Structure 1
Amino acid sequence: EWLYQGPTQADAAAQADIVRSYIQQKVDALIVAPNDPDSMAPLLQQAKDAGIHVATADTDAPSSVREVFVNQATAEGIGQGLTDSLLTAMGGKGKYAIVSCGQTAENLNSWIEVQKAYTKEKYPQAEIVDIVYAGEDQAKATQMATDLMNAQPDLTGLVGECTSSAPGVAQAVKDAGKIGKVFTVGLGTPQAMKPYLTDKSSTAAILWDVENLGYLTAWAGAQIAQGKTIEATNNVSADLSAVTYDSGTKMLLLGPALAITAENVDQFNY
């Protein structure tokens, strides 16, 4: 039986309440995508002390007692994919800004660090001029992107770092009538991004197959709940026939990042 719950806002305290509830329910395995890895770590310890197997998925709490981290793609793959897609559209140069979501989200912050370093190394004529945080609020992301364009008229790129800000920044460009002048990419789900990919207010969404990530997460939960060893290479399902596991980092890796464009968006029904 799979129980799923999440707070309606990117709120670490609300997420902690849900985790405490699951500890009280004495679930067999507890898998968390932490909003704040530092505040989640003691709760994962509590769960372990209560005899519950613990894991993370989608975003990690690397300094916690989690037994496995189900990672959707490497930080390098996502950060470089976002940067390459955007800078190709921008002609390899210019100023861009990032509209991120939760300030303490470990996955988003790790991608941003890659974007910073990779932009500096590969695109010396480009620079990240600002990073702002909209929480998990699409309307707020649109407003922040609008404010960034107004404050910096020479801005030619925007990144939406999560599935609410990716469509948010594209909407801002559309509303401003700047399609083809300001380019956007982001971490958006296919059908949410389809209108923006079609009208070219977004160049690409860098993501992963979210259905496969859900399947792999459930599989990992079943493995640890049953005390099974996760092998270096795992035949999980017909779609996931060679999933790698690094015992040093305890990372189970779904695979490479996926670029969703106007050409392939209809392959995905979510």
Structure 2
Amino acid sequence: MRRLVNRTAVIAGLIAVLAAAGCTQKNNGPAGSAGGGAEGAKHQVAFVPKLQGIPYFEAMNTGGKSAEQALGDVTWLYQGPTQADAAAQTQIVRSFIQRGVQVIVVAPNDPDSMAPVLKEAQAKGIKVMTSDTDAPNSVRDVFVSQASTQKIGEALTDNLLKAMGGKGKYAIVSCGETADNLNSWIKVQQAYTAQKYPQAQIVDVVYAGEDQAKSTQMAADLMNAHPDLTGLVGECTSSAPGVAQAVKDANKIGKVFTVGLGTPQAMKPYLTDGSSSGAILWDVEQLGYLTAWAGDQLATGKALQPVNHVSDKLPSVSWDAATKTLLLGDPLVITKDNADQFNY
């Protein structure tokens, strides 16, 4: 009899716990969100960069953490592959799906291979975004863009051709062959060079992955293959210092000019010694902040406005509903004089 009474008490207790859980579940986040948690719980925004550990994405992570502190209702999660590997990146996204986060944000190494797993996430009720690099053929709800494709491509071209005197041959050392953002900038550079600088020519485009040493070697090979080459572009934050290092190693400072998409502190030595004429970028930490903020908006079901006051540093961020693009702003030109304004 005593054993029966104890068993009845245990069952009654379990029923009470399940009932309480059911009541809590009704107070979850927006309908359709996964793993919403109790009312008042923080929204998990998980960011999966192309590559973890490089200054660029670590700066985005710093910005995301700043947003976590400022917003109060966001938990910022950050994990990426240790090599620029699309398959490894997909596995990390799947781990976040299994974890049941509210929002997954990806800077995809391969947009097309990422599209199916983003669809899997959406089917589980998870909001999906891209940031820094888009997957335009996916089901993503928002793309957080660092600057317009046209302006980035034009800024790279103008800064290099200014150093080259408006004419001559140059080559591009890019990173991932399938990176949507890099390829879109290259297309702008090709068209813009032909249109504005008829005496200039792009002689080659090569791909070094996210490998700075390989970028340096490829840039050296390009200078050997084209003795009359007078310009190099490093299309990403690993190839920008890579091409400058190649020019420095070849003792061709002032003869071969370079620009690139480089982080300020990585580029500072090259900007100082003249092996780089300029770095085109944006405030990477603010890109991370904006990414976390946008994730919070999605998690809470808030509509983005044509112009959004995100913070004092981001008072007027534009939203294009047709392309589902949230635009950080215009690109910045990093020089030896302003590089120390940024700590990454």
Same fold (TM over 0.5): yes
- SS of the aligned residue for 1:19 comes to helix
AA aligned opposite 2:278: A
Work out whether 1:83 is the aligned partner of 2:129: no
Q: Deviations over 1:184-211 (max 9, x none)?
A: 0000000000000000100000000001
Is the radius of gyration larger for structure 1 or structure 2?
A: 2
Q: Deviations over 1:8-65 (max 9, x none)?
A: 2211111111111111111100000011111111111100000100000000011111
User: Is 2:258 the partner of 1:258?
Assistant: no
Match for residue 233 of structure 2 among 141, 147, 159 = 159
203-212 or 257-266: bigger deviation: 257-266
Match of 1:221 among 263, 283, 295: 295
Decide whether the 8 Å contact of 1:166 with 1:186 is kept in 2.
yes
The correspondence for 2:274, drawn from 200, 214, 221, is 200
SS in 2 for 1:259: strand
Match of 2:311, SS? coil
Partner of 2:185: 111
Structure 1: state its 5+ residue gaps. Answer: none
2:223 counterpart of 1:138: no
Q: Is the Cα contact below 8 Å between 1:9 and 1:135 reproduced in 2? A: no
Matches within 5 A, 1:1-270: 1-270=75-344
* Residues in 2 aligned to 1:115 and 1:67: alpha-carbon distance in whole angstroms: 28
Which amino acid is 1:112 matched to? I
Work out the CA distance in 2 between the residues paired with 1:10 and 1:103.
11
What amino acid is the match of 1:229?
A
Q: CA RMSD in A?
A: 0.5
In the TM superposition, residue 263 of structure 1 has moved relative to its aligned partner by 1.8
Q: CA deviation at 1:165?
A: 0.2
Shift of 1:246: 0.4
Distance 1:95 1:185 in 2: 14
* Structure 2 Cα separation of the partners of residues 205 and 5 of structure 1: 27
Q: Which TM-score applies when normalising by structure 1?
A: 0.99
Report how far residue 266 of structure 1 moved: 1.5
Letter in 2 for 1:171: Q
Q: Distance in 2 between matches of 1:6 and 1:125?
A: 42
Task: Please tell me the residue identity of whatever aligns with 1:85.
Answer: N
1:256 and 1:139 mapped to 2: Cα distance? 30
Aligned residue type for 1:168: G
Secondary structure at 2:209 match in 1: coil
Q: Aligned to 2:113, what secondary structure does the other structure show?
A: helix
Counterpart residue type for residue 59 of structure 1: T
Moved over 2 A (4+): none
Alignment check: 8 A CA contact 1:97 1:129 kept:
yes
Q: Which letter does structure 1 place at the counterpart of 2:129?
A: A
Residue 255 of structure 2 aligns to a residue whose secondary structure is: coil
Contact conserved, 1:87 with 1:93, CA < 8 A, in 2? yes
Aligned residue number for residue 58 of structure 2: none
Kept in 2: contact 1:156–1:183 (CA 8 A): yes
Q: What is the distance in 2 between the residues matched to 1:107 and 1:158?
A: 19
Q: Secondary structure at the match of 1:237?
A: coil
- Counterpart Cα distance in 2 of 1:120 and 1:149: 22
